[in-house]
Structure 1
Amino acid sequence: MRLMPRSLRSRLVLLFAAGTLAALVLCLSLLFVALDRELRTSVDDDLSSRGDDLVAALRDGDLSAVTSDPYAQLYNADGTVMAGSASLAGQRLLQPAEVRAIRGMVSSSRTLPLGPEGHAADVRLRSRVVGSGDVLTVALPYGVVEQASSRQMLVIVAAVPLLAAVLAGLGWTLVRAALRPVDVLTREAAAISTLENGRRLPAVAGDDEIARLAATLDAMLARLAVAFAREREFVDDASHELRTPVAVLRGEIELALSEDDPAEVRRSLLAAQDQVDRLARLTEDLLLLARERDGSLAVHREPVDLADLAAAEARALGPAMGLAITVRGEPVVVEADPDRLRQVFANLAANSAAAGAATVAVRIGMERTAVRLEWADDGPGFPPDVLASAFERFVRGTSSRASGAGLGLSIVRAVMIAHGGSAGIRNEGGGVVTVRLPMN
């Protein structure tokens, strides 16, 4: 059985009503206690005032003041009534033993047969010693006070549910107004079925939590739309890059099947093998980038002399790429994956060769917390339209500097990030690619 409603609005109103009811009961109870005490205090003050007046009259020897008082009696030390109000008609306010027990001033409450036809009535008594041991007692029926307290209680009992209902209604109105933007956001978010239509969440006026939530969610949608567009472009580009070698591969296989000349068959199969190698490289590159994006690109770290590795790769890559590669820098050992670093050098060399560079200068230097390697060629530099996006996948620009399918620089950055480093580009005569690896 579900005790709380499902709706957030209903839960908030229910909690608000419960809290309001508890606060009302507490506050009105305290108010009742304070008013009741005030009424009883006023009774005691009235008795004290009447007693003071009677004491002053007795000091003047005027006993008639006692007899004319509505409810008063004067006793001697042994409890005998010396004078009393005519309205008491022989009734005693205090018994002899009680009179003899009076010391100083004493207040008490009791029920006496002072009402009409001798009916019992609640009275408040105040007794004091006067003169040489005489005791003066004044009384005041406080049934009116009890009735006033009862009426106050009835008013409070009737007011609590009424006030609670009014405040609950007000709370419902306020909560509904406060959550109305949430309803609008919910309906609009449910209506956004795809990121392609460019729909966004409506703006919420103000600078409160809901307005900030709406702005945050809208910004998230914008980022998702950008990511979705990039992924779609990636799929389109990958499909385009894969389509060409697959088409060539199919054509060469069909040609080989239709040829009777063994030499032509061999030529077609060799061409097909080249396309298979191209497909394999492209697939491996895409797999590497996918692993980098989900954080699973593995690097097997070991101590590597970066200068020695760069010199060895320069000797191997230079003749193959038609580049004159020079390496400058002091020996420096880093914890890195040598195979991944060779992949970086190969992609940088292919990038420079694709740009038409003839010479490359590799400079290795130390920074405070990293080792810096600069790959600078004498090519035309990076086109301005790709400086900000050269490390994105399949980016070539108006004059291509990207190797293969346009994944070379993307792989360079992915390997550096997997090592905890970074990569950047700039133009300085030719194109300069700077990579950084963290120090040991």
Structure 2
Amino acid sequence: MKRGRSMRAKRAMPLSLRVASIYAMLVAATLLVAAGLALQFTRNQLSGQVDTQLKALAMSFQQKVPEGVKTRVASGQTFTAAVVSETVNWLGYSSFFEGQGAVVAVRNLPPPNLFQPKGAYDLGNAIKAYLPGVLNVPQAKWLNLKGQTGASIRALRVPINDPNGHMAGTLLVGATQSKVVNHAVWNLLKGIGAASAIGLVFATALGLVAVRRTLRPLEEMSHEVESIQETDDLSKRLSGRGPRDEVGRLAEGFDRMLGRLQEAFLSQRRFLSDASHELRTPMTVVRGQLELLAMDVESLPGRRSMSIAIEELDRMGRIVEDLLLLARLDEGMPLARDSVEVELVVGEALLRAMLGAGDVRVQVLPELCILGDADRLLQVLTNLITNAVRHGRNAPITVTARPEGDYVRIEVSDLGPGISPEDLPHVFERLYRGSKARSESPGGAGLGLAIALSLVKAMDGWIDVDSTLGVGTTFTVTLRSAPPAVSYRMPVKQRREATAL
């Protein structure tokens, strides 16, 4: 069970988790940017590496094949036959990486006059549509071609010349850039992704630990403030936790504010206690003198004036008693801790407060007991029922009590006009009276609900209010349950009257 409206409100995500989440998003964004730059750099490097490999193949052909051709021609072979033999040999022992291929075109041979390495990329078939135009140009040149499947092909064309300087053929080495580069980039991306995931988890964990350690004084301050709010103990302090940074200075400032509030409340309590004590004796004397004077007054208007004066003095006396009770409760006045039968207390409260009331419904389980002070519980319920009768305008009233776990919930509901949203948060404040309460009950002092709250809190319970304009109001008192015990009994006559009600 949760106490108070603030405790029932949905809690937001802890600040440490929010800061750690922001930190994790920043780290993730940084890793994504770094990965993008690394991949782009790698792609550029690999593209340059493809050119280097193709150039190495062409240089290997230019270094080995012409020497072999010279040897074969010297031994009696024709130039064309020597070129074909050396080309076949070179294609056989040359190494081609994945996606690389070569085409050697030799002139003065019947078609097909094209030679390609076995097991390598089929470069000739990939650029079959415009292969003749590429091979018949005598200049060496880098080419960017488009294969039949749409793949980008990087190629180097090198002419083969005979001893007279005439073009005897063409060497074309190439590689599918997309396949070679993308394969390497994909492997790199997998490595970067795995490393980034591990790094992100590690950085987030370290960030969460660091943030929680940094915000620990703030979290302790939050718990301490909640404790002060729940216990109304203004003597507690927040400082003395951690270094004097922003959080430490905040704690010191909050402590100074708590000190001033504590002094103000203590001054108010001393004033109320002293004033109440000082007013009791003069009021008793004045009342006694008025009663003596009333005995000598014979006229009816005079007696009526004396009666009104005595009634007002009695009202002031009740206010003084209420102020004294509040002062004693603030000072920690101990209350009894007995097993109190709720049904009996509700019955007597109804007898005290139901004069002039209309329809009343009571739903209280028999032998349902709370742990508390019977007289003070009676005072609380009498106050709540009296308010329901006074402000409910003869509307139906319902009093219910039921167990709920280790607690007992006692509800006093009416179907009256309700409390305005502006007044609802202040109904338990001392001396607070809403505009409607001032007009309907000018004799009240605004202390009844404040006393009820203090009494219920002194019995380790809490009290809530829920009200809707035009629908009604419900006050709920929650106290710890207790086993049944014979500790509080009404007189037999009152028990019969309560049962009749």
TM class, shorter-length: 0.3 to 0.5
Which TM-score applies when normalising by structure 2? 0.39
Which TM-score applies when normalising by structure 1? 0.44
The structure showing larger relative contact order (alpha-carbon pairs under 8 Å, at least 6 residues apart) is: 2
